[in-house]
Amino acid sequence: MLKYEEIAHKISNLLENEVYSAGDRLPNIEHLKTEYHVSKSTVIKALEILEKNGYIYQSRGSGIFVRSPKREGYINLFTSNGFTEDLKNHEITSRVIEVCEIAKPDAVVRKQLHLTEEEAVYYVKRIRYIDQAVLCIEEAYFSRKLVPYMSGEIAKGSIFKYIEENLKINIGYSDIYFHVDTLNEEEAAILNQSSGAPTLRYEQVFYTKTGVPFDYSQIVFEKTNAKFYIPSIK
């Protein structure tokens, strides 16, 4: 764990144990720096992590405020960490349906991943579960340029962990688009629901820290088990 992650962890523990509660003002950066014997930039980075995860709100001029704790089991859509990371207190598992290389992906995929007609992708289709209940059907397309190897074994676990730790890709940001829709017959059969049942139809493009798209995912969420949270700011 890096120093700033450690400080973020220490402060989030104080919040979880209600040493500070919603609406409280945290000590300022100078104070935190002294308290934890770290540099100002370490404190700033720690506060950034806490802000993204909805623990705090930093108001220019007014201070650092404690936010209401996130409800249990909701997926934070503001942090692009993948569900495995986001739902740490839950068991996230996957059943791999298909892993293959597509030499000529269709125009939609090419556009989202900024690929030429000659560039290949890996296609991974999985059903993902939260505490053994079905969470979603996920179809992901990985740019072969950035992800030169993929397998069923890798797809069984956290693909993001593999991408970060083995491929050394620095994940930067993602664009999320979604709307409400109904399940088609094939999706309904997989999700054990009736065709026409409500769903959240969701697309996400992940980029590296230097703005290169490497993963385009289309996800269909199960109605009851998928619940979402966004720590929004003005």
Asked if 226 touches a copy of itself (CB under 8 A), the answer is: yes
H/E segment holding residue 6: helix 3-16
Per CB under 8 A, the list member of 36, 38, 79, 96 interacting with a copy of itself is 79
* Count of all residues that appear for the chain in the document: 234
| Closest of 82, 87, 85, 57 to residue 72, by C-alpha | 87
Q: How far is the CB of 12 from a copy of itself (least distance, A)?
A: 17
149 binds a copy of itself (CB under 8 A): no
> What contacts 145, CB < 8 A, 6 or more positions away?
115, 119
# chain residues binding a copy of itself, by CB under 8 A:
60
Closest distance between a copy of itself and the C-beta of residue 232, in Å? 5
d(CA 104, CA 208): 23
Which of 97, 98, 115 minimizes the C-alpha distance to 106?
115
| Residue written as token pair 């220490």 | 10
Q: Does 132 bind a copy of itself (CB under 8 A)?
A: no
Please state, in angstroms and rounded to a whole number, the distance separating the CA atoms of residues 14 and 21: 9
Minimum distance from CB of 18 to a copy of itself (Å)?
15
Task: Pull the structure tokens for residue 143.
Answer: 């740019």
* Least Cβ distance, residue 222 to a copy of itself (angstroms): 9
Contacting range for a copy of itself; rule: CB under 8 A; set: 31-39, 142-150, 151-159, 217-225: 217-225
Single residue of 178, 188, 193, 218 touching a copy of itself by CB under 8 A: 178
How many Cβ atoms sit within 10 Å of the Cβ of residue 203? Answer: 15
Is 188 an interacting residue with respect to a copy of itself (CB under 8 A)? no
Given 17, 62, 132, 192, the residue binding a copy of itself (CB under 8 A) = 62
Angle (deg, nearest 10), helices 40-52 and 29-36 = 110
Which residues in this chain contact a copy of itself in the complex, by CB under 8 A?
A: 22-25, 45, 52, 54, 57, 59-60, 62-63, 65-68, 70-71, 74, 77-81, 114, 171-182, 197-200, 204-205, 207, 209-212, 221, 223-224, 226-234
